[in-house]
Amino acid sequence: MLKYIEISKIVFKFDKASALYNAKLNFTLQEKEKEAHLLKEKNKEFEVINEELKQFTYITSHDLKEPIRSLNNYVQLLIRSFKTEINPQQKEYLNYIELFSSRIFALIKDLNQYIQVQEPVEIGQVDLNKTIHILKDNLSLLIKERNVVIKFSKLPEIKAPESHMHDLFLNLLQNAIKYNKSKTPKIKIDSFTSNKEIIISVNDNGIGIPKKNQVEIFEVFKRLHAKTDYEGTGIGLAICKKIVEQNNGRIWVESEENKGSTFFISFLKSKQK
Ligand code: ADP
């Protein structure tokens, strides 16, 4: 009898503890559900804001492009038509207007390109050998002018939008030529593989990048030089990073000041099938 009372006391205690535990569990579950619901709502809000922001930037940059292009054309026309009538100071002012409007135009163009990276585009098998051949053709004037030598070993095919690969390597090649004081800028493009990745490297014999800046240069508007030394918008490498990440890859640089830089781009093998 005594034993029965003790056992029922224990059972009672156990029942109470388990009821308490269940109540606590229910409460935590309800709290978690509430949190998940709130998170979902916030996510929806962010998606709307993000979409609005995208539309806003797209429309403003599109609408700004034309007037800036016209302004630039008219200034050039003015300089040409009044060549003999304007004094050197007036010519200098007009040249400044032309320079600044060209900078605004370049900025709008690059911003537009940056936004467009996330737009859906057709994915195909891109032969990087062809991409580099096309780019060499497109840049032939600059290559000749700067005495550039571009060499590349057999490059792989990458599953990605063709325009992405074109813009990625265009930015890297242009930078390799621009940030280079050598009489013969040399660019070498190679590829190799690791366990999980296909890696492409773009090496130059340019001015190099200090160690402390090697991560931040991939951020939008991050530049290491004055516009008077090297023209640019500071968006090129941010475009490269966005393109690479959009295609499940990584981009980084290894560089030594005054010796040159090597940009590495890797793509996951598992995403190439
Ligand atoms: P931009 O060239 O328009 O300034 P980028 O985003 O392409 O913008 O590059 C960011 C910065 O990284 C550049 O201002 C430059 O300082 C540095 N950089 C990029 N590529 C190279 C390179 N190949 N060699 C040396 N510095 C480079």
User: In terms of C-beta density within 10 A (0-12 exposed, 13-18 middle, 19 or more buried), how is residue 23 classed?
Assistant: exposed
pLDDT in tens, 197-245: 999 999 999 999 999 999 999 999 999 999 889 999 999 999 999 999 9
pLDDT in tens, 72-130: 899 989 988 988 888 999 989 999 999 999 999 899 889 888 988 888 889 999 999 99
Q: Residue 210 in contact with residue 257, Cβ under 8 Å?
A: yes
What is the rounded distance in angstroms from the CA atom of residue 268 to the CA atom of residue 247?
Answer: 9
Instruction: Please name the residue whose Cα sits nearest to atom 13 of ligand 1.
Output: 223
Testing ligand 1's pocket by substitution, the residue of 168, 237, 254 carrying the most ligand atoms inside 8 A of its CB is 237
How much is the mean pLDDT over the chain?
91
For ligand 1, the distance from its centroid to the CA atom of residue 49, given in whole angstroms, is 31
89-105 in b/e form (b: 16+ CB < 10 A) is eeeeebeebbeebbebb
